[in-house]
Amino acid sequence: MAFHKAIAAAEIPLGDKRGVVIDGREVVVFHAEDGFHAFADRCPHLGAPLSEVGFVKGEEILCVLHCAKFALATGRVLASPAEEDLESYACRVDRGIVWVDLP
């Protein structure tokens, strides 16, 4: 795995998210109280882009399309209708840039 430049941290206000494409892969980066979190940009329920229909509420990610919930820290599914976890990626911030570790 290797870290890839995703986006300037300043481009994602606290509580917001942005979809980015890294080496042809769609990734969503959330900016939460505890830092940045990155996932594949799709809800595993029906494939909706979380960069459009997802938001952080406390320590959870909610897909507003059908109310699926996931753990922000791990991507683990917390509430149906989703049955699969989010594909999560490690993040780090260096010199104001969010870097995402993709397999």
Q: Which CATH number do you get for residue 45?
A: 2.102.10.10
pLDDT tens, 28-64?
999 999 999 999 999 998 889 999 999 999 999 999 9
The count of structural domains within the chain is 1
**Residues 19/28, Cβ–Cβ less than 8 Å:** yes
**Strand, helix or coil at 71?**
strand
Residue 49: asked if its preceding bond is cis (omega within 30°), the reply is no
**Residues 15/28, Cβ–Cβ less than 8 Å:** no
Domain that holds residue 30: 2-102
CB atoms within 10 A of CB 47: 9
pLDDT tens, 1-23?
799 999 999 999 999 999 999 99
Write the DSSP symbol of residue 44: T
